[in-house]
Amino acid sequence: FPAILRTEIVQKILTSSYEALPETFSEDIRQLVADTLQPNPANRPSVSEILTRPFVVNYLHEKNKQTIKTLYRTLEELRALADDLERVHFNTTVGSLTGGVIGLAGG
């Protein structure tokens, strides 16, 4: 809304004087905005109703899949790092023990 004050925005909603979204937006989004800006609050969808709209569910599902993929990649990186640290620890321990044995044998 090209309104500076909240009261102007509320007035535009109550008088239904806002411009509809351009057709570059999907029909689902345009319908959601139109439904949400109903002058009568009883006609507006609840958050639960909005979250059950198929396009919202699909969007959230895709975002969750992306997040899960990212988490699995990060988990693999952490596992590789842990393996590398374990190898360094093992080699350091072997080196230390070998040096001790050689020192003991020399003594």
Is the pLDDT score of 103 beyond 60?
no
Is residue 31 within 8 A of residue 44, CB to CB? The reply is no
Say if residues 12 and 18 touch (Cβ distance below 8 Å): yes
Give backbone dihedrals phi and psi of 103, rounded to 5 degrees, phi first. Answer: -65, -40
Higher pLDDT among residues 46 and 89, named by residue: 46
pLDDT digits (tens, 9 = 90+) for 8-28: 777 777 777 677 889 999 999
Higher-scoring residue by pLDDT: 78, 99: 78
Give residue 93's pLDDT.
76
Tens digits of residue pLDDT in 53-82: 999 999 999 999 999 999 999 999 999 999
Kindly report the three-state secondary structure assignment for every residue of 33-90: HHHHCCCCHHHCCCHHHHHCCHHHHHHHHHHHHHHHHHHHHHHHHHHHHHHHHHHHHH
Mean pLDDT of the chain: 84
For residue 42, pLDDT over 80 is answered with yes
- What letter would DSSP give residue 92? H
